[in-house]
């Protein structure tokens, strides 16, 4: 089971954290991993100057809509296979 935590604090919200959530939801459905991947929202994680703040476990990523799919393939699907 993998939990992806997405910052929905105001700064990340303005950087389209909502779009990243929709992209992640679409990828989860597409790859049929809804029973293994959970999405959670979080308040500000204190890294507002970067991209949208996303965490998988304790590892932190900085996402934009453009790199979300690559992140998903590597760290989510990759993590499930590990
Ligand atoms: S609002 Fe997302 S890290 Fe601060």
pLDDT tens digits for 63-72?
Answer: 999 999 999 9
**Which residues form the domain of 59?**
2-81
Distance 53 CA to ligand 1 centre (A): 6
Sheet of 59-63: strands edge to edge?
Answer: 37-42, 2-7, 52-56, 59-63
Domain count, the chain: 1
Q: Identify the CATH number of the domain in which residue 31 sits.
A: 3.40.30.10
- pTM of structure: 0.93
Distance (Å, rounded) from C-alpha 81 to C-alpha 14? 33
Q: Are 3 and 40 in contact (CB under 8 A)?
A: yes
The string of pLDDT tens digits covering residues 70-79 is 999 999 999 9
Q: Counting atoms of ligand 1 from 1, which one is nearest the CA of 7?
A: 2
Looking at residue 5, the DSSP 8-state letter turns out to be E
């Amino acid at each position: 089971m993998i939990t992806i935590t997405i910052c929905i604090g105001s700064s990340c919200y303005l950087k389209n954290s909502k779009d990243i959530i929709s992209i992640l939801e679409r990828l989860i459905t597409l790859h049929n991993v809804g029973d293994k991947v959970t999405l959670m929202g979080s308040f500000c994680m204190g890294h507002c100057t970067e991209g949208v703040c996303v965490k998988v476990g304790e590892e932190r990523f900085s996402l934009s809509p453009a790199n979300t799919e690559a992140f998903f393939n590597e760290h989510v699907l990759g993590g499930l296979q590990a």
